[in-house]
Amino acid sequence: MDANEIRRLIINLIRKGSVMKVDLTSNPPTCRVSVGNADDPDGEGLQTNWLPFLSLRAGKTREWNPPTEGEQVILFCPMGDPAQGVVLCGLSSDDYPAPSDSPDKHLRAYPDGAIVEYDHAAHSLKVELPAGATVLIVAPGAVNVQTKTATVKADAVTLDAKQTTVTGNMLVKGAFVFESGMSGKAGANGGPAAIIAGTVAVSDDVIAGGKSGAHHTHMEQGDGKPVSEPL
């Protein structure tokens, strides 16, 4: 092995390049990397064959976030042989600059404009999705949210459940509409079951104490005397 060959092997141990192509259907998924100027006969440029790229985890716990064309990477070549290389992704570049310069944020930015950001100085988690995006959470057991206050802002909210229980007081500031009847009782401390300030308009009848408000009768007690209670 001459000096030039040794030099070439040493140079190829660790190289910086950019992703040319990605094949996500191969097993394992692979990419091709361009290093330097491959057309310069006097240079050290090269274009690799299909090589695997590193993921944070690839065992029982697996993570999927493949590289994209143009992304800057580091090429590790055991024994200086690019045919055995593996690709480490994640170098920022002019084409793909870092999405933040804050030392306090853990941020992930997506090509559609979505951002997941945690600011550990402000103790603030932000998930921002583009227009038309949706969120789906599937938890067959239960979903529990514990917080001091919660605010939901939406044009419409649907609770599709066989039973909905509210354990505390409820204030409805808009119109309250129901379609399948309503029933209730007074609280444990007694008092009226309902107090309504204002006029109550009923289109049919009102039953109070088993007596019809619209169709009850009274027993006459004599001229000028009060009638009996409703019969």
Within-domain flag for 193: no
Average pLDDT over residues 44-57: 93
Within-domain flag for 176: no
Q: Where are the beta strands (DSSP E) in the chain?
A: 14-23, 30-35, 46-47, 51-52, 72-76, 86-91, 105-109, 115-119, 124-128, 207-208, 211-212
Could you report the per-residue pLDDT of 92-131, keeping only the tens digit for each?
999 999 999 999 999 999 999 999 999 999 999 999 999 9
Within-domain flag for 158: no
pLDDT at 42 over 60: no
| Residue 44: domain span | 3-91
Within-domain flag for 229: no
Looking at per-residue pLDDT, the higher value among 60 and 206 belongs to 60
Within-domain flag for 128: no
Is the Cβ–Cβ distance between 72 and 18 less than 8 Å? yes
pLDDT band, very low/low/confident/very high, at 43 (cuts 50, 70, 90) = low
Q: How far is Cα of residue 178 from the mean position of the Cα atoms in its chain?
A: 32
Within-domain flag for 171: no
Looking at per-residue pLDDT, the higher value among 5 and 225 belongs to 5
Is the Cβ–Cβ distance between 66 and 30 less than 8 Å? no
Could you report the per-residue pLDDT of 172-213, keeping only the tens digit for each?
999 999 999 989 888 878 788 888 899 989 888 888 888 887
For residue 70, give the CATH number of its domain: 2.40.50.230
Amino acid at 134: T
Q: What is the pTM of this model?
A: 0.77
Instruction: Report pLDDT for 209.
Output: 81
Within-domain flag for 58: yes
What is the 8-class DSSP label of residue 107? E
**CA dist 101 → 96, 97, 106, 110 (Å):** 14, 10, 10, 17
Instruction: Report pLDDT for 39.
Output: 65
Say how many domains are in the chain. Answer: 1
129, HSE (Cβ side, Cα atoms, 13 Å): 6
Within-domain flag for 84: yes
